[in-house]
Homo-oligomer: A and B are copies of this chain.
Amino acid sequence: MSSHLSQTHPSQWQGYTPLTTDAAWEDESYVDYYYDDPGDMPGTLTIDPEAPPPELVLIDYGSHHATRQPLTRPQECIPYMDSQSVSWLDVQGLGSEDILQELGQVFRLHPLTLEDIVNVPQRPKVEQYPDHILLIARMVTPREVGYGFDTEQVSFILGSSGYLLTVQEEGEHDTFASVRERIRVGKGMIRNYGADYLTYALLDTIVDGFFPVLELYGERLEELEDEVVINPTRTTLAEIHQLKRDLLSLRRLIWPLRDAVNVLIRDAGDFFGAEVRVYLRDCYDHTVQVMDIVETYREVASSLMDVYLSAIGNKMNEIMKFLTVISTIFIPLTFIAGVYGMNFAPDKSPWNMPELDWYWGYPFALGLMAVIAVALIIFFKRRGWFDNFSLVITDRVDGNPRL
């Protein structure tokens, strides 16, 4: 499973150069919740001018039938809502205030509910109303180019009369295709259950969608682990920090979703049957497993930051040893050369540098130097100082300079 995934997107990490341009950093805000201008009236809808216009698709099904039809306006949905069959209206795109307001009227949504659906992104949550329940979730998908993941808010309105309204930010990045196919061909039990099971089935694809994203981060973390010990570079540091940031974001997505699923299991007995609650528990298990993995990664990444700091210190020790070895060997030699470069007059006294007039004087001096150099090299060799130079010497790994 994971090997399949990692082979599908090998390019995701390759071209990643977070430091060359600011662009990669720029387009992500930490404030990834929508917020009103202070003073905005509650219920104000904010339509992003670049948001795609909503596309409405109604899927209506029961044990023996399944139909799919695009709608142009929400009100076309009304006849289906109270029918016996399960009616699922999927709205993709938030680009028309007109249609969204009509949606609110058709589904009798509280102005604040409509605001939560439209003014994305919101924090995942559950909100109960007499005749419907609101679930806000955030879908994650691995980014196709570059690094990281994309998120898209999906809002669920499950009506007690057996309809489901889902609202997505846009048409792409949809993990619901397999559910639509199961409805179409009647595979599995989905056509025998109600809108509550449909809600579960869609939510399950959203939760399962966190795992491939985490798998990519897990692989990245293992690469960084090797990098930090074998070949730590300047960008390693920035990438560990970026990884920690992304994991914080993932945690912010999954933590409230886990709570929301728990609320569905415990407090939403009017909307979810006992049989479906068993399935929701499975979904809850998966949210807990996602949390588990995110927390583990965060701890490993923190530890990695400490390893990096130590690796820098180790590198510094190597450099210092190198300088010390070179200096220590040549300093005495240069001193000896300096001594024999002194200008004491040998003719004034037999004590004045008699070596200069010896027959073997120069070879003697050179030999003295050689002896000192060899002795020092043996000294350092015995202490093991040269062993570490393997690292100084292999300072370029795979063609890249080391730290």
Contact = CB atoms under 8 A, between A and B. Distances in A.
Contacts of A187: 41
| Size category, A interface | 35 or more
Contacts of A110: 278
B342 A349 contact: no
A338 B248 CA distance: 61
A335 to B, nearest CB: 5
Contacts of A237: 229, 307, 310-311, 314
Nearest to A350: B359
A326 B331 contact: yes
Contact of A337 (B29, B338, B383, B400): B338
Contacts of A22: 226
Contact of A319 (B238, B293, B320): B320
A353 B356 CA distance: 10
B361 A248 contact: no
Interface stretch (A52-60, A88-96, A99-107, A390-398): A390-398
Contacts of A208: 35-40
Contact of A334 (B123, B338, B355): B338
A145 interface: no
Interface string A13-29: 00000010010011001
Contacts of A221: 30
A287 to B, nearest CB: 11
Contacts of A46: 1
Residue from A39, A278, A314, A384 whose CB has the most chain B CB atoms within 10 Å: A39
Contact of A351 (B122, B188, B360, B393): B360
B205 A39 contact: yes
Contacts of A152: none
Interface string A52-72: 000000000000000000000
Interface in A195-231: 201, 204-206, 208-209, 211-212, 214-215, 218, 221-222, 225-226, 229-230
Contacts of A249: 296
What copy number does this chain have within its complex?
Answer: 5
A85 to B, nearest CB: 21
Contact of A25 (B212, B226, B395): B226
A51 interface: no
A2 interface: yes
A342 B343 CA distance: 7
A204 B31 contact: no
A288 interface: yes
Interface string A334-367: 1101111111111011011101111111110110
A38 B209 contact: yes
Interface stretch (A73-81, A156-164, A174-182, A260-268): A174-182
Given A313-B309, A330-B332, A300 B245 contact: yes
17 contacts: A26-B222, A30-B221, A31-B218, A35-B286, A36-B208, A38-B175, A40-B178, A42-B204, A115-B282, A234-B391, A241-B304, A319-B321, A326-B331, A335-B337, A344-B355, A351-B360, A384-B396
Per CB-CB distance, the 6 closest pairs between chain A and chain B, nearest first, are A39-B178, A384-B401, A337-B338, A383-B395, A384-B396, A387-B401
